[in-house]
């Protein structure tokens, strides 16, 4: 049964393996150059000491397209596997009627499904795992130049979480195919649901894997301040959070005890010189620093974040969550094949 499942699965397997090989070749050709560039710019600068922002921006400006692609491939592969491996796995047999042939041989439907899952599931884990390895290797100079990998896009592209996504996408495709019974609608459904679940988890579930750390700081004129002035007399000051190395900053707000932000009426009341400076009366810098000094008496900046040390626990939590979801979907598909398609 397993041998037949493999035999049946050869073509889609070889196509994806071919794609993987192409990606590996491109990575192998461009990876060393990127590492060399890193060594001659950022690493070179760091060894001499001093401000490396110029070296960093030179490095960051290179190979931008490849860097975007290197993020997109691991993000997109699970969806591709779910659509092209998962959805047709059962749906194609239901569509073409061959399930009547397959389910009347000497093996039960559950063994039939288990054999298919064993082959396609293993292939999924291997393909996604190999791709993750290749992309992580390729990305490592970029990661050294900017080590923050906790942002939503990078978190989902590297590490072990993508393996969970791939398992989930495959199970989702299989389930959609079993329930919808047609390949193309099942593929479309797989893509839509996969993207929806991934976004929902990223923004509504992942921040809560552990209670976020809260940091309350005084504001100061020394920190980076963004100034919005949509129109004359309408000013708002945005206090940028202090740099928390490699953390995932969930929110950052400067407010007074009443929860008001530094903008509009409050600002014109507290800092009249600033508004005058805006229309050209007096020095802007002086007005701003005196304003911040005034505000600092009542304002505090609250930063909510997940510290860098939680990166791997969060990777494991994400992997675990998606593996559990995949398990539930597989169990549901098995039940449906056994009971509902009877």
Partner 1 sequence: MNAVMEARGLGKRYGRRWALADCSLEIPAGRVVGLVGPNGAGKTTLLQLAVGLLAPSAGQITVLGNAPGTQLGKAGFVAQDAPAYANLTISDHLRFGTWTNDGFDLAGAQARIEQLGIDLRQRSGRLSGGQRAQLALTLALAKRPQLLVLDEPVASLDPLARREFLQLLMEAVVEDELSVILSSHLIADLERVCDYLIVLAGSRVQVAGPIDELLALHHRLTGPRPRRGQPLPAGQELITESHTDVQSTLIVRHASPILDPAWSVSDISLEDLVLAYISRNSRGSTQVPHTLKVAS
Which residue, 84 or 209, has its beta carbon nearer to partner 1? 84
Select the residue interacting with partner 1 from 3, 216, 231, 309 (CB under 8 A).
3
- Sequence-distant (6+) residues with CB within 8 A of 322 are 161, 164, 165, 167, 168, 201
Is 7 a residue that touches partner 1 (CB under 8 A)?
yes
Binding mask 180-219 for partner 1 (x = CB under 8 A): ----------------------------------------
Q: Which residues in 177-257 belong to E strands, given as ranges?
A: 213-218, 225-231, 234-239, 248-256
Instruction: Count residues near partner 1 (CB under 8 A).
Output: 21
Which tokens go with 267? Answer: 């600002």
Q: Residue 316: exposed, middle, or buried by beta-carbon count in 10 A (0-12, 13-18, 19+)?
A: middle
Binding to partner 1 (CB under 8 A) within 321-340 occurs at 339
Cβ of residue 109: shortest distance to partner 1, in angstroms? 8
The least CB distance from residue 118 to partner 1, in Å, is 14
- Output 114 or 134, the one with its CB closest to partner 1: 114
CB of 99 to partner 1, least distance (A): 8
The piece of 1-9, 21-29, 143-151, 212-220 that touches partner 1 (CB under 8 A) is: 1-9
- Least separation in angstroms between residue 21's CB and partner 1 is 23
Residues 6+ apart with CB under 8 A from 10: none
Query: Is the Cβ of residue 4 or residue 332 nearer to partner 1 in the bound state?
Result: 4
Enumerate the H helices of the chain as residue ranges: 2-38, 44-48, 53-61, 64-81, 87-96, 99-102, 109-145, 152-157, 161-180, 183-200, 264-270, 272-278, 284-296, 311-335
- Say how many Å lie between the first and final Cα of the chain, rounded: 21
Which residue, 297 or 339, is less far from partner 1 as judged by CB?
Answer: 339
Structure tokens at 52: 């490396």
Does position 13 bind partner 1 by CB under 8 A? no
Site for partner 1 in 86-115 (CB under 8 A): 96-98, 100-108, 112
Nearest to 199 by CA among 248, 258, 153, 252: 153
**Residues in touch with partner 1 (CB under 8 A):** 1, 3-4, 7-8, 11, 96-98, 100-108, 112, 339, 342
């Amino acid at each position: 049964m397993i041998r037949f499942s493999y035999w049946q699965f050869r073509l889609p397997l070889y196509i994806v393996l071919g794609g993987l090989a192409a990606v590996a070749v491109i990575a192998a050709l461009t990876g060393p150059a990127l590492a060399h560039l890193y060594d001659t710019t950022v690493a070179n600068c760091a060894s001499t000491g001093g401000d490396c922002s110029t070296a960093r921006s030179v490095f960051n400006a290179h190979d931008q397209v490849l860097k975007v692609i290197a993020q997109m491939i691991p993000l997109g592969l699970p969806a591709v596997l779910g659509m092209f491996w998962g959805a047709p796995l059962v749906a194609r047999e239901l569509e073409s009627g061959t399930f009547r042939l397959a389910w009347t041989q000497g093996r039960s439907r559950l063994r039939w499904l288990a054999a298919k899952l064993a082959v396609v599931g293993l292939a999924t884990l291997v393909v996604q795992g190999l791709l993750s390895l290749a992309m992580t290797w390729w990305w490592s100079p970029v990661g050294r130049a900017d080590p923050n990998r906790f942002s939503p896009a990078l978190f989902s592209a590297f590490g072990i979480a993508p393996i969970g996504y791939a398992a989930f996408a495959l199970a989702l495709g299989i389930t959609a195919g079993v329930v919808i019974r047609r390949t193309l609608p099942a593929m479309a459904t797989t893509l839509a649901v996969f993207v929806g679940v991934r976004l929902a988890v990223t923004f509504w579930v992942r921040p809560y894997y552990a209670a976020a750390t809260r940091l309350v700081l005084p504001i100061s004129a020394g920190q980076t301040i963004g100034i919005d002035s949509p129109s004359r007399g309408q000013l708002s000051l945005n206090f940028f959070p202090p740099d928390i190395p490699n953390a995932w900053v969930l929110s950052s707000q400067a407010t007074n005890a009443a929860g008001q932000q530094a903008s509009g009426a409050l600002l014109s009341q507290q800092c009249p010189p600033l508004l005058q400076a805006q229309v050209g009366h007096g020095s802007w810098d002086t007005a701003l620093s005196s304003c911040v000094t005034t505000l600092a008496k009542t304002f505090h900046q609250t930063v909510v974040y997940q510290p860098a040390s939680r990166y791997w626990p969060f990777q494991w939590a994400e992997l675990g969550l998606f593996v559990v979801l995949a398990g539930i979907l597989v169990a549901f598909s098995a039940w449906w094949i056994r009971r509902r398609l009877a």
